[in-house]
Structure 1
């Protein structure tokens, strides 16, 4: 059974041996190596790639989608230049992981869905956009292999999110005009301020801040020195408060899932050093404390009580009713094209959805990541997407065990990535905000963070205490 699981998750796939014998890899990688050896600028290639990624993650909450796509194009163009001029060394071969293979497979399924789409022109445009995000993953996975660049990008994102959160909290105190109908005008919450900071939408802001909450939590333990730890505590508190003030139900669900996952993994990390009592009761105490906080908030804070109760109100809540009507139409769309879907992207969705929608229920997406994937690429794409998620988490857990044995602080960032990914998936079950550039780039950053630590299973077995990343 263990061997079957290893093969299913590609844990023991001999990628290094395959790439060393691949004619395509030999032909593509290193074709411009002589030019790179004489170029002064390309001597700093990976640093320049990190600088371009820094622009992406520093500007994501503040700039337009068009500018974000331009920045992504610049990152990918430079990555292509780096790849074509790379040394064909074992280090660069090891940068290709099972996650890369499944990302490539998903792109291939999306390309087939585009070719068979009933709205080929719209699907082709969206395939180009999807390609940018998938290639961003490859850039991030390459750069994050270097521990200093990894630390820099995580720190940059956390500082950017702190600025976003501070402005969001300011909106809570001084008021913020709703830019869309986020709350039913007849609801008791119609006068409640829902902060959205620079992102223009509270649900989008909640999705953007979720990884920041988790990464700032693990930074408390990963960062050394009291000043850095105090900064991490401040980031965690400010980001959490701002996320709560979005009053995004999907964001709250994601926060609970991510927090419980993070705490469970932290307990697992320290379990070998814990006394028997805390090893047994720490998780129940954490869970009980969280439930107690939620119960007290529901009793004494009316907006919280109303938002939590509305989650279970089904069609009696206008937002729930809207999603249910959209989902009914989406199920019919999937039923008509179950194998390969209508083609990737919201342009394809906007062309086809009106043929199925109920009157007055226009929508830009399926309001569920899993339904969106099924609509766009059919059950083939959904199966590949689920396979990608399973392989990503399996890779993360293997590396977490490796770092736990060596007591490397890099394990805390793996914990943060796992918790952030699970939280984003929980949010994605009821919303599709992470198709926006500011969130999509974060999703692939978290996946790339896991991929950057990947070590073939044979090496993990033979080398229990490897170095945590390249210097």
Structure 2
């Protein structure tokens, strides 16, 4: 047993924990109900339909309506859980999600704005409930692919409208570009989401998943559809001119490229097994540098990252971050409680004149503000554990050459891309993006552990 295995909870006998835990005793409490239920044979389909409905509605309807469907999904998952025979599928990811939620409860109890923090706790609970529902549904490979396909088809509609805005123009609904910059009159698309940064965050998972679909889907027509999705999603995200979105895109595609090469490495000639990674990294670097040098619009946006306070967007964020750091220093242990409502109550006491903000404009600062050092440490622990489990599962699937590994690679790459985007923005606290973050976590958690995996046969293992 290594120290890392202990840190990532890889050696804990979760089946024994479930048997002895008071919480675990609720699993399967009323399983006798299923024997007389007409709907029980369709339970996984109903759960999948609810999760799919959330993914379909997210970019098109108000947040309140999404919240209602999320609540329905959480209640359905609760009924499903207490009605199902106990299974040994509780993972370290579930444990650390529960730990962070518990810390958020305590932070709410000690919040200086308890009513506002309680609203944030409700939202956080709904998102985590969506994770639990999606993970339960996606234990079936068929439903894993199905939910991902639902999101990709929805994102395709969003991307098509975004590309249309780029071609025909779109009115800016706010001042999204520094009026003094050379890109002041550039169209920044926002599709149905009303904000280019939010659109970039929404489309970011669609790009690695589209590329994964090219490999995972069977038949040339589905693969062609995956290629079309990849092109439209990438184009629409680029046309948002979201610098954070671009950084997330570079990180996610670079990560996925490296994972795909790792997946294919055993089938490459020996000489390429040595040179493949240096060649790929060099090629990616050349591609990024060429885009910056040769495309003026990209060059302008990238250079603005280093303009510090001379760029109005940079200046705004720097002032917000300075105020947020003071908030963290005043409540370093448990923060002010979860949610933007709590932030909006407390931030005005610290803000610089003229720099109002609805969030910390960095998910890492936001976590420190909301749940303090304790919550932030739990989140980092959760991330490390999730990435470790994902890597272990990927190696297992790689040995079997099982095509479900492509969805896992895309989910891991998306996580790193969303975290990169989150360095300079907090759009993933919006339901359109938050549900996708938890969907990626659910993808990673939905694969069985090695000891629980049944032997899989894969006659189409040429990839």
Q: TM-score range by the shorter chain?
A: over 0.9
Q: Do structure 1's residue 136 and structure 2's residue 136 form an aligned pair?
A: no
Residue number among 77, 80, 86 corresponding to 2:78 in the alignment: 80
Residue number among 429, 432, 440 corresponding to 1:438 in the alignment: 432
**Residue number in structure 2 paired with 1:338:** 332
**Residue number in structure 1 paired with 2:8:** 9
Matched residue SS, 1:46: helix
Displacement after TM superposition at 1:326 (Å): 0.5
Displacement after TM superposition at 1:467 (Å): 6.9
TM-score w.r.t. length of structure 1: 0.94
**Residue number in structure 1 paired with 2:209:** 215
After superposition, where does 1:263-274 map in structure 2 within 5 Å? 263-274=257-268
Contact 1:250 1:426 in 2 (8 A): yes
Contact 1:214 1:419 in 2 (8 A): yes
Q: Do structure 1's residue 312 and structure 2's residue 306 form an aligned pair?
A: yes
Q: Do structure 1's residue 396 and structure 2's residue 359 form an aligned pair?
A: no
Displacement after TM superposition at 1:83 (Å): 1.2
**Residue number in structure 2 paired with 1:370:** 364
Paired positions, count: 458
**Residue number in structure 1 paired with 2:88:** 93
Displacement after TM superposition at 1:132 (Å): 0.6
Displacement after TM superposition at 1:317 (Å): 1.1
Change (3 A) 1:464 1:278: farther
**Residue number in structure 2 paired with 1:46:** 44
Q: Do structure 1's residue 111 and structure 2's residue 109 form an aligned pair?
A: no
Contact 1:202 1:247 in 2 (8 A): yes
Q: What is the alpha-carbon distance in structure 2 between the residues aligned to residue 326 and residue 23 of structure 1? A: 44
Change (3 A) 1:268 1:100: same
Unaligned runs of 5+ in 1: none
After superposition, where does 1:9-408 map in structure 2 within 5 Å? 9-26=8-25, 28-88=26-86, 92-94=87-89, 96-408=90-402
Residue number among 378, 399, 411 corresponding to 1:417 in the alignment: 411
Contact 1:117 1:341 in 2 (8 A): yes
Change (3 A) 1:362 1:465: same
1:299-320: CA deviations, max 9, x gaps? Answer: 3322111101001111121111
Q: What is the alpha-carbon distance in structure 2 between the residues aligned to residue 334 and residue 319 of structure 1? A: 22
Q: What is the alpha-carbon distance in structure 1 between the residues aligned to residue 275 and residue 232 of structure 2? A: 29
TM-score w.r.t. length of structure 2: 0.96
Q: What is the alpha-carbon distance in structure 2 between the residues aligned to residue 290 and residue 65 of structure 1? A: 38
Contact 1:405 1:465 in 2 (8 A): no
Contact 1:209 1:243 in 2 (8 A): yes
Change (3 A) 1:212 1:31: same
Q: What is the alpha-carbon distance in structure 1 between the residues aligned to residue 426 and residue 314 of structure 2? A: 15
Q: What is the alpha-carbon distance in structure 1 between the residues aligned to residue 233 and residue 111 of structure 2? A: 41
Q: What is the alpha-carbon distance in structure 1 between the residues aligned to residue 454 and residue 306 of structure 2? A: 47
1:183-216: CA deviations, max 9, x gaps? Answer: 1222211110001111111111111111100011
Q: What is the alpha-carbon distance in structure 1 between the residues aligned to residue 7 and residue 247 of structure 2? A: 30
Displacement after TM superposition at 1:81 (Å): 1.0
Contact 2:108 2:336 in 1 (8 A): yes
